[in-house]
């Protein structure tokens, strides 16, 4: 009996989740803006570069199931060892990590970086302002080349930030607005999918439904 009730509870929770599945945030590529390198160069660490863009999570919060980062290749993804995603409290490689996801192994990935399957939770975000960062980890030499995160306009909120901690690109080792590097302000393209955190009333209703199923089962005995 207990196994059956647990199975029913899982099904009810799944129905609740699927009923509210949606695109939570979307900054689509504009089709014209250039890309910005976002890569951990395992053979040239001074050139490792990270990009950041801001987004806002409204109440009651999000359960994120998939994040898609549009990009373009100028190299060979077969050299990629991992794809990295970070949600941070500031536009810096040294900022506090709020949530993260890693895809490894990742050799042969497509131009767009995809984290999550759209069904299972990756992480939960409470209401607030955040910065997203994503990159590939692979060497430049031997044919590895570079991966670029596609930028987009118009700017919503803050423009994206560029951070090359090793200073290899000659713009210092602190985060700087993308405009300082690329000559114009832009956002980064990304899409976040998932579900809203259930409101307390929804959770109460679900609990009441499960309690009713349990009571019915007991009466039948």
Residues 64, 195 contacting (CB under 8 angstroms):
no
Tokens of 136: 């590939």
Kindly give the parts of the chain with pLDDT less than 50. 1-17, 19, 201-216
| SS3 call for 185 | coil
pLDDT at 199: 78
pTM to 2 decimal places: 0.84
- The structural domains of the chain, with segments of one domain joined by +, span 19-220
pLDDT at 18: 53
pLDDT tens-digit readout, 135-169: 999 999 999 999 999 999 999 999 999 999 999 99
pLDDT at 4: 38
Give the separation between CA 12 and CA 210, rounded to whole angstroms: 8
pLDDT tens-digit readout, 193-205: 999 999 764 443 3
Q: What is the mean pLDDT of the chain?
A: 87
């Amino acid at each position: 009996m207990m196994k059956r009730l647990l199975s029913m509870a899982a099904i009810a929770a799944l129905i609740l989740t699927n009923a509210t599945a949606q695109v939570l945030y979307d900054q689509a590529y504009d089709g014209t803006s250039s890309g910005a390198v976002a890569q951990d160069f395992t053979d040239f660490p001074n050139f490792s570069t990270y990009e950041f863009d801001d987004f806002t999570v409204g109440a009651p919060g999000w359960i994120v199931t998939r994040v898609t980062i549009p990009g373009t290749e100028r190299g060979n993804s077969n050299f990629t060892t991992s794809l990295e995603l970070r949600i941070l409290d500031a536009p810096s490689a040294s900022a506090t990590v709020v949530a993260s996801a890693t895809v490894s192994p990742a050799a042969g990935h497509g131009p767009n970086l995809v984290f999550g399957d759209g069904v299972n939770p990756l992480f939960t975000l409470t209401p607030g302002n955040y910065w997203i960062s994503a990159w590939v980890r692979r060497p430049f030499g031997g044919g590895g080349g570079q991966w670029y995160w596609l930028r987009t306009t118009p700017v919503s909120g803050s423009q994206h930030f560029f951070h090359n901690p090793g200073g290899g690109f000659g713009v210092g080792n602190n985060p700087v607005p993308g405009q300082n590097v690329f000559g114009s302000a832009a956002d980064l393209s990304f899409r976040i999918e998932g579900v809203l955190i259930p409101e307390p009333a929804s959770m109460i209703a679900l609990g009441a439904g499960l309690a009713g199923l349990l009571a019915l089962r007991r009466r039948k005995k």
